[in-house]
Amino acid sequence: MTINKKTSIFSHLLVWVFLSGMPYLLSYGQDQDIYKIIAHFSIPLLFSAVVFYLNYFVLIDRFLFTKKILQFILVNTVIIIVFLFLKEYLENTLFQDFIKNISIDKDRVEPPFKMFIYVQMLSYLAPLLFSIVVKSTKRWVKIEDERKEAENIKLQSELQHLHYQLQPHFFFNSLNNIYSLVDISPDQAKTSIHSLSKLMRYMLYETNMELVSLSKEIDFMKKYIDLMKLRVSHKIKVVYNFPADETGIKIAPLLFISLIENAFKHGVSASKGSLIEVKMTCHENTVLFVIENDNFPKKTDDKSGSGIGLLNIEKRLELLYPNKNNFKTFVKDNRFFAILNIETT
């Protein structure tokens, strides 16, 4: 049984506990025979049930929620007036002999007529108001659930779009790197294609889940770094340090690869030596990823690459780890730093 259904059942029970106790609350503080009270209020209680459920299942949806307030008030007014007269008629016919046989305090003072009408109206207004409250609450809960579901669908759709956006971006960048090896070193190009096929298999078939083990992501990053090292000159030094032991941490896939791509794209030079350092540390459920490289900014006329890598990771972090991530990039001493800290729980 869902929480919403339990809440609805509890609301109905609470309403009828209150309405069943109204005979005692509305007995004008007089000492009356319990049987007379029951006889006197049994018909209004039955009519109250009609008022409650007629509004709950029909009138509120048809009039109140469609902004037909005047019609809603008129219909309920007519129903209450009919029930007031019908109650008097039934009591004076069906219950007359029964009530006469019940001992009545002769000294009891009957309430004024206006007070009597007020109490009778109140006895029908109570179930009417309760029906509005219960129905409105149920509707609000339903709308809120639908809103959350719509937000979740939108979130998943946007994340899927970003995920699919990253895959061709990664694939084309890798192909460009392999292309540069074809004439220089055909054997390395063949090895790179084989390595790329393994990486793409992981991206296509293992990253569709919401979370993957951090160890798989680390293995993926190591293979990518080894692939990229094949195309850079011996002047480029790449150092990485990842946790050796199984951490048990689950994380959204492909969060770090764009930063590594960015380092190889902007941190190497065809004529100068450079150093790329990658480091990841884990503490409990927090992952700290730091990457730094020499800064060789692209020329303004260089249109290679789509430039979506960093934007992609920023959007994904905003959606996946709101208020649980700290991502910053900066240049210091002509070296580019990217630091990403994620709380995975």
Please give the distance of CA 264 from its chain centroid, rounded to a whole number.
37
Level-2 CATH architecture, domain 183-343: 2-Layer Sandwich (3.30)
Specify the amino acid at residue 257.
I
Sign of CA dihedral 330, 335, 338, 341: negative
Residue 55's pLDDT is 92
- The DSSP code sequence of 15-52 is HHHHHHHHHHHTSTT----HHHHHHHHHHHHHHHHHHH
Global model pTM greater than 0.95: no
The b-or-e profile of 96-109 (16+ CB within 10 A means b, else e) is eeebeeeeeeeeee
CA distances from 47 to 42, 59, 127, 244 (A): 9, 16, 10, 74
In angstroms, the CA 89 to CA 84 distance is: 9
Would you state the structure tokens that stand for residue 316, as one six-digit string? 């994904």
pLDDT of the chain, 345 residues: tens digit per residue: 555 666 667 777 776 776 666 555 555 444 455 555 555 567 777 888 889 889 999 999 999 999 999 999 999 999 988 988 888 777 677 655 555 554 444 444 444 545 556 667 777 888 898 889 889 988 888 888 888 877 776 666 666 666 666 666 677 767 776 776 777 778 777 887 878 888 888 877 888 788 999 999 999 899 888 888 877 777 889 999 999 888 899 998 888 988 998 888 888 887 888 999 999 999 989 999 999 999 887 665 554 444 567 888 888 888 889 999 999 999 999 999 999 999 998
Residue 134's pLDDT is 87
| Half-sphere CA count of 206, side-chain side, radius 13 A | 16
Burial of 142 (0-12, 13-18, 19+ CB in 10 A): exposed
Residue 306's pLDDT is 46
Residue extents of the structural domains in the chain = 3-147, 183-343
| Residues 290 and 336 sit within 8 Å (Cβ to Cβ) | no
